[in-house]
Amino acid sequence: MRTDHIEVFLNNTALRTCNEEEAKIKELLFQLGITSKYTGFFFTSCAVILSLRQPERLLLITKWLYPDVAKQFNTDWRNVERGIRSVVEIAWELCPEKLSRIAMRELNRRPSNSQFISILTHYIANSSSREPLTEFHRSTKNGARENEKTE
């Protein structure tokens, strides 16, 4: 996160909060293996910010959320849907356990776009009371990490 960008808006709490939320969302996406090389990274970040401001957007994702994100990026809502779907597939392929942890329940299959955005929105909205995801692996009795193979 660029500090010079934040300093310019120091007197504007709403913009500072938005920048902090955006930074949290982007960090979470990075932890899920999604980088800024995917347009869906930016679409997802924007969708979560809009959903944090108005959670009812999650009820009409195709008719309300996608078109609003598309306007921000001067593109079609179908491109937004496809970009977010790609991000969901990547996160599911690379980090299904971490995604389940964020969702606070076991996910047996890849979440839909609306489920993914809802999971991220809920996590960010309640993230001040959560431990960081960097401590994801828990040790077992023999000292090995849960997700590592022991020989």
Q: Is the pTM of this model over 0.75?
A: no
- What six digits make up the tokens of 54? 């108005």
Is the predicted pLDDT of residue 53 greater than 80, yes or no? yes
Residue spans of the domains in the chain: they are 3-128
Spatial contact of 125 and 119, defined as CB atoms under 8 Å apart: no
pLDDT for the residue numbered 18: 56
- What six digits make up the tokens of 73? 């990026």
Nearest-Å Rg of the Cα atoms of the chain is: 17
Average pLDDT over residues 69-73: 94
pLDDT above 90 covers what percent of the chain? 64
Spatial contact of 32 and 133, defined as CB atoms under 8 Å apart: no
In degrees and rounded to multiples of 5, residue 78 shows phi and psi of -65, -35
**Domain 3-128, classified CATH 1.10.340.30, yes or no:** no
pLDDT per position as a tens digit, 78-119 = 999 999 999 999 999 999 999 999 999 999 999 999 999 999
Higher pLDDT residue, 136 or 17?
Answer: 17
Mean pLDDT of the chain, nearest integer: 78
In what helix (H) or strand (E) does residue 51 lie, and over which residues does it extend?
A: helix 39-53
Is the predicted pLDDT of residue 129 greater than 60, yes or no? no
Is the predicted pLDDT of residue 21 greater than 90, yes or no? no
